[in-house]
Structure 1
Amino acid sequence: MAGAAGPVGISAGMQRLTMGLCFLAAAIEGFDLQSAGVAAPRLGPAFQLDPTQMSLVFSAAIAGLIVGALVGGRVSDLKGRKVALMLSLGVFGLFSCLTALTWDYPSLLAARFLTGLGLGGAFPNLIAIASESTERGKAGAVAIIYAGMPLGGALAAVMALHGGHGDWQTVFWMGGIAPLALLPILAVALPAFRLAPTADTPRQGIVQALFAPGRRVDTGALWLGSFFALLVLYLLLNWLPVLLLSRGLPRTLVLGVQIVFNMGGACGSGIAGQLMDRVDRRLTVIVIFLALALALAGLAGAEANFLMAVAAVAGAAVLAAQALIYGLAPGYYPAEVRGLGVGAVVAAGRLGSVAGPLLAGQLIASGSSSADVLMGIIPVAALSGIATFILVARRPA
């Protein structure tokens, strides 16, 4: 038998403290993920970056996220969740601060890649800790943690709306100092979530861990569900403002849409977790993905007066869809490879986050209207829904 992952029998108060610390860490990560977008209007001119170079700045962080998710998950299985989480927070905090000190384009790219490395390593550990900190309601615990990310993103959008980012460096200083300040608190207060192997616990290779008999379909469905869900999410995060502005809508309204989209996402993530733990999971998947399809259709044609409400529903639905997948993922892997398994799911999703903005760019370049783009990703959302339904159909509870 494999040893337990994480503290056994921790008190209810310690569970709440653990969840609170992880939620805070997720919110900080959500802020950092959108920091480059907030800084972009001033960062680009400061370095005299053309659109292609600016895209590479964004892509450097995403590349780091993909690598970091795999590495961070594996480190957590070998060295413990707490160690891996603190190391990841330290890396993205340090290099976010160093981003503010970059002096040319190559140094900026390097800083963003290394920041992404830490960001990617942190999230699989947050998911694993949330799942392992409670015996009941594991999916709901993961979804609550995930809700912190859009709240952090909403804070970044509020900064942009009110011009609070000042010069381009400020947002990176804020995003870097916050995780570094959290480290000593985690060192003292976070339990040591570490696998305690026994003599008969086999050491599994990466391929064996992910594709062991009986786990292959689950891994494939998790990867596909995460890839397509994040494709839709990041297409909306990156291109929705552009698509709405192309319809002649006021910039203040569009920034407001960004804020309610993130706030709706935070609510949707929490609701998804509660539904998974209380309602038939197959019904939950159907309802959430149907709501997402309807919301995308609504965004394609909603009048200005209704746009805020539709955006809130869209944010809630797309974040709920991803929260479903993250909430399910830990349960499909044994404790000794859970960090790697969850990290691989996160990495697959990050590939989707690269594909989404590229897909929108290609559609727009080919002459597609904003409505065409939004309607065109409904089938993509459906593919994520099908993959997620396969997961819950194989294991309904």
Structure 2
Amino acid sequence: MAETFTTNVPARLDRLPWSRFHWMVVIALGVTWILDGLEVTLVGSLSPAIAGGLGLSSTQIGLSGSAYILGAVLGALVFGRLTDTFGRRRLFTVTVGVYLAATILTGFSWDFWSFLLFRFLTGAGIGGEYGAVNSAIQELIPARRRGYTDLAINGSFWVGAALGAMGSLIVLDPQIIDQAWGWRLAFIIGGTLALIVIYIRRYIPESPRWLMTHGHPQEAEAVVAAIEADIERRGTKLSAVETLPSLRLRPMRTSWLDIARSLVVRHPKRTVLGVVLMATQAFCYNAIFFTYALVLTRFYGVAPASVGWFILPFAAGNFLGPLLLGHFFDSIGRKPMIALTYGLSGALLCLTGWAFAENMLSAVWQTVAWTVIFFFASAGASAAYLTVGESFPLETRAVTISLFYAFGTLLGGVGGPALFGALIETGERHQILWGYLLGGGLMLLAAVVELFLGVAAERKPLEEVTPPLSIIDDVP
């Protein structure tokens, strides 16, 4: 391992024009969220068929959802730490492999306990992906495009949700597929799709930023040189590297104590910001999404087999939000855009909750309202992951993303659906209004916190936003 060295690898990565390499990164790594959206929506839509096929009670179906969430939390924590230790590339290969095997095995479940185990392992694979993939994307994408790219990729969760909704309409139709096999086939096909992901990821190199901070500066240089050569071979002339700014680093091994110091001592305000952004959006999202079908069927009389049609516009709004608003996070800036999207979605959620309580909406208009709300909320929620990744040192980036993801998932995945489920059980619209007001109020609170504690990271190199722990000094 090198003692001390000087490198301009970050500057070389940030000056690259958008190229075939970056498209490959987006496709190979971004598909994670599509798989996650597919998983979550499929299980929600197929739960009646799964319950019938395996003889499960409603409580057991709920427990399987909790097992998935618990797996995602533990997977994020374990694989996030391993990602910072052994590299982005190794772990995003391992985690998608875990997802593939566990999802296919879910299709072969024979009883409650096997289904519970396979759902837990599937969640572990997806949870592990969050730290490995988010850190790799942020470290490989040029600074001027980092915000838009990260938001668009995170928003692709809803492409998977739309695919899951459409798939449920097919596998729940007994005239197309035997109901004894429909739900099993959905999981088997979903898992098999991950084989394509594994194949494409073979062409994604290790993050040069990770290599340079772990004592492999020559390998980092070689990776960047190969990317540059490919770009120039395709007709784009790059500027000379000699004029680019450099960093002097001393490789170090980080401990949990280093991670704790980074969160509590070096960047306490950013820690508070990350907790607020992640927890509030997780509560709001999971509370609404996991009880979406219950509201439609119980209060609007929508048939369970038709719920998928109502999920499609909701998913479209969630995907279009980051896609259409994402570039403003790089141009106007992180702080005003995050505050705006959180604030708008919070205010609209409170207003929609009041209209629901007063019985002023039909199923269609309820769906329209949710679609508009989460057009803004989705951009804000995706920016929460971006903020956490940018706000802490490179050496702890993956585990930091995982820690905040785990916290948000635990709070939102358990507290939100449980509270809204209990409120819906009362059958009283005005009781449910309190849940909507709480969710909207939390989003408004997050908007205020962002205005005070937000980080202006737009178009800046990651090393300028947060210097690495291993940095010695800047080299002019």
> What's the TM-score once normalised by structure 1's chain length?
0.91
Question: CA contact under 8 A between 1:210 and 1:219: conserved in structure 2?
Answer: no
Check if 1:225 corresponds to 2:225: no
Aligned to 1:339: 398
Which of 49, 65, 72 lines up with 1:65 in the alignment?
72
Check if 1:284 corresponds to 2:337: yes
Within-5 A mapping of 1:24-173: 24-136=31-143, 137-163=145-171, 166=177, 167-173=182-188
| Alpha-carbon separation, structure 1, partners of 2:9 and 2:89 | 11
- Comparing 230-239 and 173-182, the one that deviates more: 173-182
| Alpha-carbon separation, structure 2, partners of 1:49 and 1:5 | 54
Q: Deviations over 1:177-213 (max 9, x none)?
A: 11123212211x2122243324823322224314422
Q: Deviations over 1:338-387 (max 9, x none)?
A: 11111112112211222210111232345642444323421122233344
Check if 1:325 corresponds to 2:384: yes
Question: CA contact under 8 A between 2:72 and 2:124: conserved in structure 1?
Answer: yes
384 and 353 in structure 1: CA distance in 2 versus 1, 3 angstrom threshold: farther
Which of 234, 252, 260 lines up with 1:202 in the alignment?
252
| Alpha-carbon separation, structure 1, partners of 2:397 and 2:436 | 35
Check if 1:296 corresponds to 2:349: yes
Gaps of 5+ in 2: 216-248, 459-476
Specify the SS of the correspondent of 1:247. helix
- State the Cα distance separating 1:72 from its structure 2 match: 1.9
Check if 1:348 corresponds to 2:407: yes
User: Residue 436 of structure 2 aligns to which amino acid in structure 1?
Assistant: L
| Alpha-carbon separation, structure 2, partners of 1:294 and 1:396 | 26
Which of 439, 443, 446 lines up with 1:384 in the alignment?
446
Question: CA contact under 8 A between 1:29 and 1:149: conserved in structure 2?
Answer: yes
Aligned to 1:373: 435
Size of the aligned set, in residue pairs, is 395
| Alpha-carbon separation, structure 2, partners of 1:75 and 1:247 | 46
Specify the SS of the correspondent of 2:156. helix
Aligned to 2:220: none
- State the Cα distance separating 1:297 from its structure 2 match: 3.5
Superposition RMSD in Å: 2.5
| Percent identity of equivalent pairs | 21
- State the Cα distance separating 1:5 from its structure 2 match: 8.8
| Alpha-carbon separation, structure 1, partners of 2:423 and 2:70 | 23
287 and 85 in structure 1: CA distance in 2 versus 1, 3 angstrom threshold: same
Gaps of 5+ in 1: none
Aligned to 2:206: 192
| Alpha-carbon separation, structure 2, partners of 1:390 and 1:162 | 48
| Alpha-carbon separation, structure 1, partners of 2:420 and 2:450 | 24
Aligned to 1:244: 296
- State the Cα distance separating 1:298 from its structure 2 match: 4.8
| Alpha-carbon separation, structure 1, partners of 2:70 and 2:184 | 22
Question: CA contact under 8 A between 1:93 and 1:180: conserved in structure 2?
Answer: yes
Aligned to 2:198: 183
4 and 71 in structure 1: CA distance in 2 versus 1, 3 angstrom threshold: farther
User: Residue 288 of structure 1 aligns to which amino acid in structure 2?
Assistant: T
Aligned to 1:215: 267
- Comparing 92-101 and 20-29, the one that deviates more: 20-29
Aligned to 1:262: 315
Specify the SS of the correspondent of 1:191. coil
